[in-house]
Amino acid sequence: MTTIDTENSENIPLPQHVAIIMDGNGRWAQLQGKGRVAGHRAGVESVRACVSGARELGVKALTLFAFSSENWLRPQDEVNVLMDLFMFVLTREVKKLHKNNIRFQLIGDKSRFSKKLQQKIVDAEQLTKNNDAMVLSVAANYGGRWDISQATQKIAQLAVDGDINVADIDEHMLNNHINLSHLPDLDLLIRTGGDYRISNFLLWQAAYAEFFFTEMLWPDFNKSAFIDALAMYSNRERRFGKTGEQVKAK
């Protein structure tokens, strides 16, 4: 597979916004003869590797799907461990993000998290709010349909209050109320674990994203694998509805 020279990547068309569905933790653990939660713990190292790789290559935004709104349906023990792990990562990793000029934010419905976890999220966002090298967004208790519906609720309230007319509602307005609207458009969506679906993740934002699916389980997805995915992206022709000839002419 094509690779990227990380020291000479200025002229390579790299994505400015990358999102990852981090799938395969449980299966990885089972293959190791361990409980599913061991896979989630092992996956933290892959998060570190991808954050490091993205920062080194100059990616401006990295968005990770950590916990979907449907994941509450998993066994309670696993959910509890995931919440504890999230608390641990927020406590241990945010200072490293801050040191590397990375801004942290969480997208999703925070109301279902414990008060202690909600405060940790607020503290992390507050500490890193002025950092501008990269934005690390973690999607937790997030769903793409929820994202679109909360945006429409906000717009509907503006109409009820008389601040806008119904005729004013268009794609641009809806986009402004969707999560991540302040970031570059999503360029590349990666999914590990071998499944070929996006599982209610960034439905609006992924409209023109390139997709990269790999059989590799998330705890095995290291910096080299991340760079390979970006190299694949750099060799794709993005047409946005135009013909290949039009893109080449431009």
Torsion of CA 117, 90, 135, 12, to 10 degrees: -140
- Residue 139 neighbours by CB distance under 10 Å: 25
Amino acid at 132: D
Closest CA to 15 of 240, 214, 236, 193: 236
Q: Which of 5, 11, 23, 131 is catalytic?
A: 23
For Cα atoms 88, 91, 92, give the angle at the middle one, nearest 5 degrees: 85
Q: Could you confirm whether 71 is annotated as catalytic?
A: yes
Whole-angstrom Cα distance, residue 41 to residue 164? 47
Q: Is 104 exposed, middle or buried (0-12, 13-18, 19+ CB in 10 A)?
A: buried
**For 226, phi and psi rounded to 5 degrees?**
-65, -45
Evaluate whether 190 touches 19 at the Cβ level (below 8 Å): yes
Q: Which of 5, 11, 25, 71 is catalytic?
A: 71
Active site residues: 23, 71
